[in-house]
Structure 1
Amino acid sequence: MAGGHKAHDETLGEFGLIDRYFAPLAGPEGLGLKDDAACLTPTAGTDLVISKDMLLEGVHFLGDDPADSLGHKALAVNLSDLAAKGAVPRHYFLGLALPKGTPADWCAAFAAGLKSLQETSGIVLQGGDTTASRSGIVISVTAVGEVPSGAIIRRSGAQVGDDVYVTGTLGDGALGLLSLQGKIAADEYLTDRYRRPTPRSALGVALRGLAHSAADISDGLIADLGHICEASGLGAQLEQALLPVSAQAQAAVAENPAVKPLIWSGGDDYELVFTAPPAMRAEIAARARAQGVAVTRIGQIEAKKGVRLVDPGGQLVQIGREGYQHF
């Protein structure tokens, strides 16, 4: 994890920062974070699945977000990508750019957030880089997982007649951000869902051999299911009444009806949306129960392209913004 720029923690220096906060998170493949490389040996009979996500201050998180929650989220969003592929998490690499003068306690809390999720997920830090930032905090994580050879769950595998499922509840992350911004009433549950998403790693692995396609919901349900449909050359119809919504999100929408579209277009949920044949309904329900994850069937894959959300009367719901756009 050796880097090429000056220290961020003025009392430790760059290598002191690495030795104190990040070397304890490293596995043997990371060579103690003393080299500018790692040495990984894939498990025999597996394919490697690699995901990379960046979090930028002011774009993906607020400047006053707790450092431990940033460590958790930076790792969680990558674990969510691996889950959508049915991959078991193995290794990750961390790129971290910090403004000069970032205090040691921020670094300690950030590392603690990584450590907590790392221990529950089984993934291990194996290297990366640290550098100085002239404009806010930048966090980049590259995660590596494994699937049995040929068993990856792709976006492009959806088939006509497949059921569409989602895990957990929708809209909590986007509403949590609004809560933190003071645009809706404060709600600890929603803000925690925004700051500390729960990657569905174990369920993702359990869906191998059942799901035809999957994606994680980072940009919003309509947008991310849209990626599945586009990759598969198909479309989908969803039933608005079936979308799973938490009691806290329901209360926020009741008080602020204008935010209701965030249930299907808001990002930051990091739940899974996946498709599977109707014959798999009982097995999917059983495996979801075994993992303690709520799974809801919300629609069906169709030949007609595009994603359509309909109300109980069968009328098309005005979707508005489909999901988060980076550009």
Structure 2
Amino acid sequence: MTKQFLQSPPSNTHKLGEFELIRDIFKTRAEQMMKAKPQHAPLLGIGDDGAVIASRPNEELVITTDMLVADRHFFADADPYLVGKKSLAVNLSDLAAMGAKPTGFTLALALPKQRQAWLHGFANGLFDLAELFDCHLIGGDTCQGPLTISITAFGVIPSGQAINRSGAQVGDSIWVSGELGDARLALAHHRNEWSLDLESKDLDQVNQRLHSPLPRVALGIALRGIATSALDISDGLLGDLRHILEASHVGAQINIDALPRSQVLRRQAQAIQYQCAASGGDDYELCFTTNPNQHDNIAKLSVELGLPLTQRNSSNDRIMSSTLHWIALWSMGLRSMQPRSWSPR
């Protein structure tokens, strides 16, 4: 499929209007994707007052919405290609946490005047990720205003198999995918917050984690029938784990020393490591719980996906009975604390 028309803005474009924006960029690319990847294409997509999606027997629809605001959730001068990818990725990460397969999304976009070049880069990033997951743009809206992006994503799952936050049981193991904290480290570098040990290649790595997270869709689908609860880590492990604890009416113990971290993060001061890995935010990894007897299945899954899946490696790291929903953190001893969340810029 050629994408040449999106690589540079058309020379005769001089005024941003809703009709031109939809016709020249999003509608054309969406129609190309429908023809190239029709498996989950809508029956009727962009161009009408609404989209028409076929429903299938024994299947449920999962819906999620995220809004991103310039200079709060992403830097206004960030590469628009990466902004486009991340805008969809954060929604697909929510679907992954539920065990859903992405099928489509709508886009609501507020954009300042004369941003055509930005818009072409944004569309490239958005559709490159959409094509990776066969997730079709099926509609949306545009207006002039401060740069704001709102996406509603749709996914499907076999009836009764959605993974929610309220299923964690006392004694369950707690797992985390990938590595935590690199995105927060990149943000700290941008803000000049701490004294950091970062070489050029290290900075490339952590910036990639901040600006271009990859949603763990395959993992979420594989966890159907295995995970007792799950969520994606967008606001930091401790703060997000709290949502599972509150929904499941349990508490938790984890070893903060054993949180999965990259070698780049491990070279930083210990306090920085803990803050980034435990409360950093923007990781978009999955945190999930399982019955302890699922350990071998998770180990096999890790190999199949080529993705580290880390269990808190102590018999004390588990879901426990508690009405306070506190997390007990192990690190050279035990202390109990209320989990904290990261707040975006």
Q: Say whether 1:322 aligns with 2:343.
A: no
C-alpha separation in 2, matches of 1:52 and 1:32: 19
Q: Say whether 1:307 aligns with 2:317.
A: no
Is the CA contact (8 Å cut-off) linking 1:179 and 1:191 kept in structure 2? Answer: no
C-alpha separation in 1, matches of 2:43 and 2:147: 24
- Residue 71 of structure 1: SS of its match in structure 2? helix
Give the aligned residue type for 1:228: I
Alignment match of 1:161 (pick from 168, 171, 174): 171
User: Shift of the alpha carbon at 1:176?
Assistant: 1.4
Is the CA contact (8 Å cut-off) linking 1:30 and 1:127 kept in structure 2? Answer: no
Q: Which runs of 5+ in 2 are unaligned?
A: 1-12, 35-40
1:219 alignment partner in structure 2: 235
Give the aligned residue type for 2:329: L
Kindly tell me the number of residue pairs found equivalent between the two proteins. 312
Is the CA contact (8 Å cut-off) linking 2:60 and 2:159 kept in structure 1? Answer: yes
Q: Percent identity?
A: 42
1:55 alignment partner in structure 2: 68
C-alpha separation in 1, matches of 2:281 and 2:251: 20
Give the aligned residue type for 1:323: S
Q: 1:56-98 CA distances to partner (integer Å, 9 max, x unpaired)?
A: 0111011111101111101000010000000011110101100
Q: 1:212-257 CA distances to partner (integer Å, 9 max, x unpaired)?
A: 0001000110011110010000010001121000011222x23x84
Following superposition of structure 1 onto structure 2, how do residues 104-123 of structure 1 map, counting pairs within 5 Å? 104-123=116-135
User: Shift of the alpha carbon at 1:182?
Assistant: 3.5
Following superposition of structure 1 onto structure 2, how do residues 57-96 of structure 1 map, counting pairs within 5 Å? 57-96=70-109
Following superposition of structure 1 onto structure 2, how do residues 259-278 of structure 1 map, counting pairs within 5 Å? 260-278=274-292
C-alpha separation in 2, matches of 1:113 and 1:158: 36
1:296 alignment partner in structure 2: 310
Alignment match of 1:45 (pick from 58, 75, 91): 58
Give the aligned residue type for 1:145: G
User: Shift of the alpha carbon at 1:262?
Assistant: 2.2
User: Normalized against structure 1, the TM-score is what?
Assistant: 0.90
1:173 alignment partner in structure 2: 183
Is the CA contact (8 Å cut-off) linking 2:253 and 2:319 kept in structure 1? Answer: yes
C-alpha separation in 2, matches of 1:314 and 1:278: 24
Alpha carbons of 1:317 and 1:302: their partners in 2 closer, same or farther (altered >3 Å)?
A: closer
Q: Which runs of 5+ in 1 are unaligned?
A: 1-8
C-alpha separation in 2, matches of 1:32 and 1:46: 21
Give the aligned residue type for 2:129: L
Pairwise CA RMSD of aligned residues?
2.0
C-alpha separation in 2, matches of 1:148 and 1:314: 44
Is the CA contact (8 Å cut-off) linking 1:160 and 1:234 kept in structure 2? Answer: yes
Following superposition of structure 1 onto structure 2, how do residues 11-50 of structure 1 map, counting pairs within 5 Å? 11=15, 13-23=17-27, 24-26=29-31, 27=34, 29=42, 31-50=44-63
C-alpha separation in 2, matches of 1:46 and 1:19: 33
C-alpha separation in 2, matches of 1:245 and 1:259: 8
Q: Say whether 1:200 aligns with 2:222.
A: no
C-alpha separation in 2, matches of 1:169 and 1:323: 17
